[in-house]
Amino acid sequence: MRIILESSGCFNIIQVQNNIGRHRNVCILLSLLFMSMVATSCSSDTSSVQRAKVYGTISISGSSTMSNILSLWCKGFSDIYHNTNCMVENFGSRKAPQDLETGNVDIGAMSEPMSNQEKQDFKNVYGYEPVEIKVAINMIAVLVNIENPINCMTIDELDGVFSNSYSCKGSADITTWGGLNLVGEWLNTPIRVYGRTSTSGTYDVFRKIALCDGTYKQSITDLASSRDIVDFVSRDISSIGYTGAGLLPSRVKAINIGESEDKCFPPETRYARSKQYPLTRDLYLYLRENPSEGMKNVTRKFVEYILSKNGQEAITEAGLVALPQEILQKEREELFN
């Protein structure tokens, strides 16, 4: 019995010369094995060629809350498509519409929806609105120092601590931890309040939900990033702040939030999806190019990757909440069908 493998590019011819009849089945099986190996090799070669056609730089600006997930997406994408790279700037959600409008970036990352005015400003330049993609679910965590005994705050209490307008029903000015029912050494301890700058999407979403569309106290110390909030709260035992509920270090704790003390929920996945945790929001990407009008191949493949199984697994790794399958499917259909 002889098996001869002749190869020409990706097309291979297998000849089986059988001198012994009883080996016929063995020959056929070996032939099939060789054909399978050849097909796998050809498929791999073809796949490599297709990946090589995806190249270029993807430029992204916007939400600092999304910095971790953007880094994971960029790394995962470049691991598959080796001729690609990302340029990411995280100066806050409010920067994204400006950069999209001027054409400085391909994608804007935002921790809140783009406003109607921002969409119109973009349309005035390009003739169409930016493509909106819902990519993940995130919670805003209210943080205190790990030494603080408080476990739950209601929306009206958040309004009393962070606001000077007291727009939520039942809210009143709260300046000490005793005002939140802490006793002993905490009774007269002033609350030191940290928040985000006005360019942050987190700043605006927190204002709308926790302050019932009110206004912030002038005494709040504004910080530029989520990392800064965590750092300051971890070093200040009497402090409170808010940030995106990603992977938080052990030196701070996220307290439960609710409409009332008997309905307080932690910032966990199940309560985000059920919307029982009140400080829950969606995260978005906005595309400068319109898929129906023509889009760079590298941008299209990047968006496909984000909405893929691997892209959604990265969301969980970043401490965010992945989208339900029905929403993912809807996003894919609206984009590419």
pLDDT in tens, 61-103: 999 889 999 999 999 999 999 999 999 998 889 999 999 999 9
CA 51 to chain centre: 25
Buried b (16+ CB within 10 A) or exposed e, 218-237: eebeebebbebbbbbbbeee
Task: Work out the widest C-alpha separation in the chain, in whole angstroms.
Answer: 99
Assign 33 to helix, strand or coil.
helix
Domain contains 314: yes
Query: Is residue 86 a contact partner of residue 107, using CB atoms and an 8 Å limit?
Result: no
Give per-residue pLDDT as tens, 249-258: 889 999 999 9
Do both 275 and 150 map to the same domain? Answer: yes
Do both 118 and 181 map to the same domain? Answer: no
Residues 6+ apart with CB under 8 A from 285: 107, 108, 109, 110, 132, 133, 135, 303, 306
Catalogue the E-assigned strands of 90-201: 107-110, 131-145, 152-154, 192-196
Give per-residue pLDDT as tens, 295-318: 899 999 999 999 999 999 999 999
Does residue 41 register a pLDDT over 50?
Answer: no
Q: Which of 17-21, 139-143, 162-166, 178-182 has the lowest mean pLDDT?
A: 17-21
Do both 274 and 292 map to the same domain? Answer: no
0.85 surpassed by pTM: no
Does residue 12 register a pLDDT over 50?
Answer: no
Do both 269 and 147 map to the same domain? Answer: yes
Lookup: tokens for 192: 């030191």
pLDDT for 334 equals 85
Distance from C-alpha of 73 to C-alpha of 62, rounded to nearest angstrom: 15
Do both 190 and 313 map to the same domain? Answer: no
- If you count DSSP H runs as helices and E runs as strands, how many of each does the chain have, helices first? 11, 14
Domain contains 52: no
Q: Which of 2-16, 270-284, 311-325 has the lowest mean pLDDT?
A: 2-16
**Residue for token digits 């912030």?**
216
Rg (CA), the chain: 27
Does residue 186 register a pLDDT over 90?
Answer: yes
pLDDT for 247 equals 67
Q: What is the mean pLDDT of residues 127-136?
A: 94
- Reported as a pLDDT band with limits 50, 70 and 90, residue 17 is very low
Do both 34 and 149 map to the same domain? Answer: no
